[in-house]
Amino acid sequence: MRFRSKFFYERALKVIPGGVNSPVRACKAVKSEPIFFERGEGAYLIDVDGNRYIDYVCSWGPLILGHAHPEVIAEIYFASKRGTSFGAPTWQEVELAELIKNCFPSIEKLRLVNSGTEATMSAIRLARAYTGRKKIIKFEGCYHGHVDSLLVKAGSGLATFGIPASPGIPEELTSHTLNLPFNNFEAVKKTFESYGKEIAGVIVEPVPGNMGVVLPKEGFLEFLREITQKYETLLIFDEVITGFRLGISGAQGKYGIFPDLTCLGKIIGGGLPVGAYGGKEEIMNLVAPEGPVYQAGTLSGNPIAVSAGLATLKELLKPGVYEKLEIISQQLEEGLKEVLKSLRLSYKVNRAGSMLTLFFTEREVVDFETALGCDAEKFAIFWQKMLKEGIYLPPSQFEAWFLSLAHREEEVEKTIKAVYKVLREII
């Protein structure tokens, strides 16, 4: 039972819109009330009623080491003893920037910010300043934060709630956004043929995770790199999710594609608010105070967030870490597929590294349109029943499941057994 969660939700509704501070947390898409949590331990979340769940949300990606990792907690503690914020440079932010640069060959300079939204917003501004152009290409179902000009078929909560855009955004702000189907070579080609000299940048999640996990078709990212170079347009990889999750060099390292600008977040803060954008030196030198493109933040480079990020990345640099994460992620994928096969279900499982989605559809999910073809009603029933089995999944069909290094074979086996039991009940 979740009596205390209900109590806090009723209180929250009186002071917070919808009772939550981010829309998907409301659990409306799965016909539930939000769960209020007390603490996290490794691969588990414990709610305010004492219920214990295997967690596949992992704070929507940042907790790649699991909850309350001792090294991260220790660094947060010692950093807080030195002070919570200075509004001035610290040595830790230099060390974090150097570490990120060493891991991402495409990044020669970077700027720390407070969120992924700030990172993408700043990268778009920078691309427009560098090229002197206005138009931006984005892809349907790719979410780049709540940036006004990018909230067009943006996936994530917008897909969950069926909102194509958000009120309060003037049309003139989105008029320069060209929204194309992901994985569609021809649409990109035709758009460049029509607007090539007006396009400042192409922003893309190299592996989208905000319409569920969707893999790029063979050659698609290479094609984006080639056509942007042809038209002297900047290629922007939004690696807020995939950065340090698909490998130490993110998706760009996995696929061998090097963008002009990269946006990061989530893992580089170790569970605390953080973001970053970086790229070629000649582009980044346009950022104030070195150049005329203004961007600032009182808490940018916050010493506690930076310390948590450093502790996390240093753990990820240890030998065998990603191999271990791949093994446990593959076990979950194969287990899910075996369950589907035994129950004669044709649902699809898409996985990239330690992020995956079980799509309630028989069609291959390759873009936003095919993702929207899922049976969201059945997923809602599935989510509710999995919760009763002690498994906490993202409360939306259109989100990625995340694994961490704290997930063991024991948790994966329990999850697979629960999936089998639940699916057998609802088919």
Residues that are catalytic? 143, 238, 266
For residues 337 and 207, give the distance between their C-alpha atoms in angstroms, rounded to a whole number: 21
For 107-249, where are the alpha helices, taking DSSP H only? Answer: 116-131, 157-160, 171-174, 185-195, 220-230
Rounded to whole angstroms, what are the CA distances from 3 to 8, 20, 304, 339, 386? Answer: 9, 17, 34, 33, 19
- Report the C-alpha gap between 48 and 38 in whole angstroms: 5
Buried b (16+ CB within 10 A) or exposed e, 167-182: eebeeeebebbbbbbb
Which among 116, 140, 135 is positioned nearest to 60, based on CA atoms?
A: 116
Residue identified by tokens 């696929």 is: 255
Two tokens at 175? 């008029």
Helices 303-316 & 91-103, crossing angle to 10 degrees?
40
3-class DSSP assignment, residue 264: strand
